[in-house]
Structure 1
Amino acid sequence: MIIADFLNYLQYERSRSLLTVKSYGEDLEAFEAYFKKLNCHLSWESVDSDIIRDWVESMMDKGNSATSINRRLSALRSFYRFALSRNQVRKDPAREVRGPKKAKPLPQFVKEKEMNGLLDSENWTDDYKMLRARTIIMMFYETGIRLSELTGLDDASVDFGGRQLKVLGKRNKQRVIPFGEELDETLKTFLQLRDKQVGKQSDALFLTDKGQRMKPAQVRYEVEKYLSKVSTLAKNTPHVLRHSFATAMLNHRAGLESVKKLLGHESLSTTEIYTHTTFEQLKQVYTEAHPRA
């Protein structure tokens, strides 16, 4: 009866859809069946927070997703708030129970052989747009900078003598990123062609054909255009190249703290997600290579 009262309240007083009412009913019946199986003398009034936590754990053990479990918990909380307001129960045991955190998806990255195939392709020409696109992609992949950081680069940001970039990151924090010989030569070639064909009308490093600083949308378009030629990912964005930089660094034995500083992360826990990516890659290699895997 207590569940029926709540469902009538949802349908007639809150005007919830029939599908929502049905889902709430199924969730509440599932919990009632659970606690009655534990002890047939238990009731909605006598259930405590520990029983609800045990229910959550049992759903996790059965492989239910965090989204599904949290949806059921939400239904239970709504039910107890209603029952408490109608004096059908004297306490709300669901209020203090927290559901499982949603697992963060692993960052998508482009494999090294795909990046090598793109950057070393013979299809690149000396055309300004193509040289600019290749330089931008190389800059993302070899430094790990963000899109906003790249479009904010000026000529003065590049120190060719020390082979390093001065980048203005989040919250106006500056960091210095080293770069290698290949990017050094590519940048110099690009700058020569840029000054010859476009001229120097701005302090910006990457200029449009009309000599203006490139906007994020323009950079994003060029990255997607060329990256999609070698990548099968659903999204081929500058951020994917940032992920690819971090993954490549860790795969080649860079320390986690060093990668954190290069990426400009505040917390090491943010950088640690890339270790999961490299471990998944390691598992795949093991499975494919070991004869008894």
Structure 2
Amino acid sequence: MKKLIFFTLLFSLFWVGNHAFAQFGEPEVQEKEVPRNLYDEGYRTGFGFNFSLNDFGVGAGGQFRFGLNSYTEALITLKMTGLKDPTEQTFIDYTFGFKTVPEKYQRVMAVPLYIGLKKRFFADEISDNFRVYSSLSAGPTFAVSYAYFNDVTENGFRENDTGIYGRSERVNDVFSGWGDSETHWGFGGEFVIGVDFGEKFANLSSVQFGYTMNYFSDGIQVLEPCQPDLSRINQQPVNPCGFSDINAVPVLLGDGSVGQAPLEKANDPRKYFGTAQITFIFGWMW
């Protein structure tokens, strides 16, 4: 009887110990989930409309995407955007609502065509509905510059005060001034970091932050090329800033007579245009 009790207790202790070990032992190893990607699920081509905001204003266009492998895509981006001199300041007449930019000479519209590569990162660490990527693109840029104001005297300077110049040359709206337009060819590019959202790969929804730039070797005359020196009335101009037959601006003097203010070089053509940018892309994949 004693032996039976001994073996019963021994068996009970063994069973309890084994059960406790099973509870506090290491859990079973689970296999890591393989990240999903567009390429392996058959989404090799995409198109989206892009809308961008930067220091120059707004831009809009389209973007094609072509899958190269599981996490790499080729990009073709075409858009239209404005270009400005970074020193420009806009002033508003709150009485009549007019906007004016001092020293502005030409508006510039650019149409860059960028070709680049897009690479997804952290696919194993971040959920598939928040796909982080980076891209680098470059390509040619076509630009058109046109007159910001109606330069009646054709002296490269806006006479905007009737009390000084006897006239005020009218600022063109965005649809006017094309008769004095010029075309330019340059080169540009952009670097971005962005995120593709959503678990449904057929829908394209992205937001990206980056830097975009354009370079024109001959430059674009965005600001007035010359300005009158009102401190040197009736003196000979030192630098007529490229206008061979126009060297001075008529000004009204205090005694009612008319004097001549010599023109001086004011602003050089701008070659480089760069700005930070945020872009939203909406479209679809197939």
- Normalised by the length of structure 2, the TM-score is 0.18
Question: Greater relative contact order: 1 or 2 (C-alpha under 8 angstroms, separation 6 or more)?
Answer: 2
Larger Rg: 2
TM-score for both structures, normalised by structure 1: 0.17
Bigger fraction of residues in helix: 1
Q: In proportion to residue count, which structure has more strand?
A: 2
